[in-house]
Amino acid sequence: MRLPAKITNLIPMLGVDDVERSRKFYVAALGFKCLNEMEWEGRLSWCLLTPDPDWTCEPSARGEIMLTAVEPSCLKGDPRPGRKGLYFYFYPDNVVALHKSLKSRGYTVSDLRVTFYQMKEFEMEDPDGYQLWFGQETNEQPTLHTDEP
């Protein structure tokens, strides 16, 4: 089936409890920049973030994310359980340096590991419980788990 219009971009929009707190996290922890924001009733209610506003590539290749306030009146149940199954995978150009930087600044990150699919990676949670994974291709041998021989 051919659609009458083509999808030209996809930007994840994360429903968060406090847009200002989450914006500060993505800016401080990961170096994102705010491209646009909106307030509602005197409170930051939405923002568009990008890892690098000076990129010359197409917007869909920049890795933008939107943060939006989630009001309890808009929800049917607690959204947090669903956040545990949602992962955002970032591709830094130096995963070891990023891991070291986040850890030294007091962020809770997992240990670095090498996977069977040849990625050196680690993960962390953002303030709203979203799972953030970071990986870089490697030729290193996979990390053995402590319970492996």
CA distance 87 to 96: 20
Residue scoring higher pLDDT (114 or 83): 114
Residue-wise pLDDT for 94-145, tens only, equals 999 999 999 999 999 999 999 888 899 999 999 988 889 999 999 999 987 6
pLDDT at 35 over 70: yes
Per-residue pLDDT averaged across 37-52, rounded? 89
For CATH 3.30.720.110, list the domain ranges present in the chain: 82-149
* Through-space distance between the first and last CA atoms of the chain, rounded to whole angstroms: 52
Residue type, 52: D
Which of 68, 71, 73 lies closest to 49 in space, CA to CA? 68
**pLDDT score of 113:** 93
CA distance 109 to 141: 21
- Residue 13 host element (H or E): strand 13-16
Architecture of the domain whose range is 82-149: 2-Layer Sandwich (3.30)
Residue-wise pLDDT for 5-14, tens only, equals 576 677 888 9
**pLDDT score of 63:** 79
Q: What is the pTM of this model?
A: 0.75
Asked: is 9-71 a CATH 2.130.10.30 domain? The reply is no
For CATH 3.10.180.10, list the domain ranges present in the chain: 9-71
Q: What is the mean pLDDT of the chain?
A: 82
Per-residue pLDDT averaged across 66-70, rounded? 87
Which tokens sit at 101? 């930087």
